[in-house]
Amino acid sequence: MKKIITISRQFGAGGGQIGKKVAERLGFYYMDKDVIIRAALASEGLTPDDFRRFDEIVPFDFGFGQSLFDFYNRPLDERLFNAQKKAICSEAEKGGCVIVGRNANYVLKEYDDSLHVFVSASTRFKLKNLKNKMPDLSDDKILDEMRSVDKKRRKYCTYYTNTEFGDADYYDLCLRSSTLGIDKCVDIICDIATQ
């Protein structure tokens, strides 16, 4: 049985919903951005302002001009990434957890009894899903937000993990929630996790 399940996801693909349902069905602890950040802030003496300033942001000068292999000269704001990493590892050591986001698949890549999942979806599915959560925003604003969030996630993932967000090579299982549906994704994850 898999004791640690990580779920990475495109914005709006339902990864959080899937993670909560998997945790509930398996009786696992659910850990998402809010839980991880509270633990990270408490353990490292960081402030909420530190988090807001550095969350999923890479240094301004990171890009084509900087070698992707020059990871030894990272800025001081790496404290937040390291604090989150420590919080994720601390929970993983206990086992019986579902961790959504925060590059947990990379952080826990060497852990036995883990299952790393990536959830994607069609733009139409993500738009409909997010429209339910953000009914006051126009479709164009939601689409802009989807692109912006996933772009930040890709850059953050590349910078801190030297991997590519959403690339199947870094996950055990990739699911398309728009094709399978949320509940079928939950069934598949639970079936694999309990084998």
Tens place of pLDDT for every residue, the chain, 195 residues?
899 999 999 999 999 999 999 999 999 999 987 777 777 667 666 666 655 555 554 444 444 444 333 333 344 357 777 888 888 999 999 999 999 998 999 999 999 899 999 999 999 999 999 998 889 999 999 999 999 999 999 998 898 889 999 999 999 999 999 999 999 999 999 999 999
Would you kindly state where each structural domain of the chain is located, as residue ranges?
A: 4-193
| Torsion, CA 124, CA 125, CA 129, CA 131, rounded to 10 | 10
Indicate the pTM of the whole model: 0.83
11 three-class SS: coil
User: CATH number of the domain at 4-193, out of 3.40.50.300, 3.30.1280.10, 3.10.20.600, 3.60.21.10?
Assistant: 3.40.50.300
Q: What is the largest CA-CA distance in the chain?
A: 47
Give the helix/strand (H/E) hosting 180. helix 177-180
